[in-house]
């Protein structure tokens, strides 16, 4: 089913957990949903037929990267992003605000916008709220994002406040720019709540952003250095202040345990590069936690990594063969691991939707979290700190 305009319908609730349906001109998507990340109009190593067969209904692409290469005009002239990359379902595009954050010393922000230095050729570019919206209009995604300024959630309070207030000013400009466009209605525009881990600022940002009648609302500035407890506290606080009749999107979160816990807090939409990024390094999800397929324990396992998994990798190959592919440096290894991890996440989302519909979400969540061993928190924080340091932020 398609429609001329974007809409969201809330179908069921079980506590704070929600099940709904998003309708767009390019089809429908059931929530809670996970969007595989197709940053440069591709989910690395996979075809979109494969991505669709894994259970994905919506994917995310990045307007900043597509602006640099192949260019907004090229995508528009190709008939829009759906035609260009051969994906017929809904697409969400990020505006470039997160890229400004992640590029460290390659960007400078002021009240007018953000100056970038291309990581491709060193050329200089300047994004404003108006240009960020215009770029996404040209690309033609079904859901587009406001231009915001993301900073480290645990950064200096003054820096967090400055970025939050700038995000608010830019949200007004983004909304006005979009409202004047013929794309309004067909393309949904989501606002983004910022404010770090400071409860007062998150309340202030939630009130400000929800005062603008966006089609949906996102929680930004998380999974960027704070603890899991802080992330969950902020998510719960913001969700409590968001309107029930609009979709809620937690940006950049994709660990299995975080998906389950965040759905429990009222989140509808997620995206993250994590499932495919760790897959390319041989880390695979199982119901008991993430495993490293290169470990010697799998060298003689002539059965699938997960007998209960219905992905192509587990239906056709043994754990020993997957290990061999990674040890031999064969490109099929990362492909099969990516297929497995995305199928794991997308099945998890389907299971969450069914649990909400059948009013057994709490039991499902409890059983999942008892069995699943998350990545060590101290190790995760160490890796994030190294990432932050490398970017000079």
Q: What amino acid positions are annotated as catalytic residues?
A: 94, 271
Please report, for residues 137, 138, 268, the alpha-carbon distance to residue 182 in angstroms, rounded to integers and kept in the order given.
Answer: 9, 12, 27
d(CA 210, CA 193): 9
Q: Which residue, 68, 118, 84, is CA-closest to 59?
A: 84
Q: Which residues contact 316 (CB under 8 A, 6 or more apart)?
A: none
Please state at what angle helix 256-264 crosses helix 332-357, rounded to 10 degrees: 20
Q: Where are the alpha helices (DSSP H) in the chain?
A: 48-53, 63-68, 72-77, 81-85, 97-102, 129-139, 157-179, 199-210, 228-241, 256-264, 274-279, 312-316, 319-327, 332-357, 361-371, 377-390
Burial of 262 (0-12, 13-18, 19+ CB in 10 A): buried
d(CA 117, CA 26): 34
d(CA 352, CA 368): 10
User: With the C-alpha atoms ordered 277, 281, 285, 289, is the resulting torsion angle positive or negative?
Assistant: negative
Burial of 323 (0-12, 13-18, 19+ CB in 10 A): buried
Beta strand 289-292 with 283-286 is antiparallel
């Amino acid at each position: 089913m398609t429609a001329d305009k974007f809409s969201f319908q809330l179908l069921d609730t079980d506590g704070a957990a929600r099940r709904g349906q998003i309708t767009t001109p390019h089809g429908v998507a059931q929530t809670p949903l996970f969007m595989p990340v197709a940053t440069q109009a591709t989910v690395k190593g996979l075809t979109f037929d494969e991505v669709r067969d894994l259970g994905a209904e919506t994917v995310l692409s990045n307007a900043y990267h597509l602006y640099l290469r192949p260019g907004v005009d090229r995508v528009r002239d190709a008939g829009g992003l759906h035609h260009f990359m051969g994906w017929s379902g809904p697409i969400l595009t990020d505006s470039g605000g997160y890229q400004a954050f992640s590029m460290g010393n390659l960007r400078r922000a002021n009240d007018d916008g953000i100056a970038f230095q291309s990581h491709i050729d060193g050329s200089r570019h300047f994004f404003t709220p108006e240009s960020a919206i215009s770029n996404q209009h040209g690309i033609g995604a079904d859901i587009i994002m406001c231009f915001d300024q993301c900073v480290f959630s645990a950064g200096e309070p003054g820096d967090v406040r400055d970025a939050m207030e700038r995000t608010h000013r830019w949200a007004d400009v983004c909304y006005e720019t979009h409202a004047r466009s013929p794309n309004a209605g067909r393309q949904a525009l989501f606002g983004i709540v910022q404010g770090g881990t400071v409860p007062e600022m998150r309340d202030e940002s939630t009130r400000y952003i929800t005062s603008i009648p966006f089609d949906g609302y996102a929680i930004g500035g998380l999974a960027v250095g704070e603890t899991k407890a802080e992330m969950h506290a902020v998510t719960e606080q913001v969700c409590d202040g968001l309107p029930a009749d609009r979709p809620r999107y937690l940006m950049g979160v994709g660990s299995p345990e975080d998906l389950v816990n965040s759905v429990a807090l009222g989140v509808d939409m997620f995206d993250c590069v994590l499932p495919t990024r760790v897959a390319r390094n041989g880390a695979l999800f199982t119901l008991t936690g993430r495993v490293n397929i290169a470990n010697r324990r799998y060298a003689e396992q002539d059965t699938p990594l997960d007998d209960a998994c219905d992905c192509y990798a587990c239906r056709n190959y043994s754990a020993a063969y997957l290990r061999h592919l990674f040890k031999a440096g064969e490109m099929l290894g990362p492909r099969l691991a990516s297929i497995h991890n995305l199928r794991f996440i997308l099945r998890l989302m389907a299971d969450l939707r069914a649990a909400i519909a059948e009013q057994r979400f709490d039991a499902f969540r409890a059983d999942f979290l008892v069995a699943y061993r998350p990545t060590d928190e101290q190790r995760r924080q160490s890796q994030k700190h190294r990432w932050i340091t490398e970017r000079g932020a």
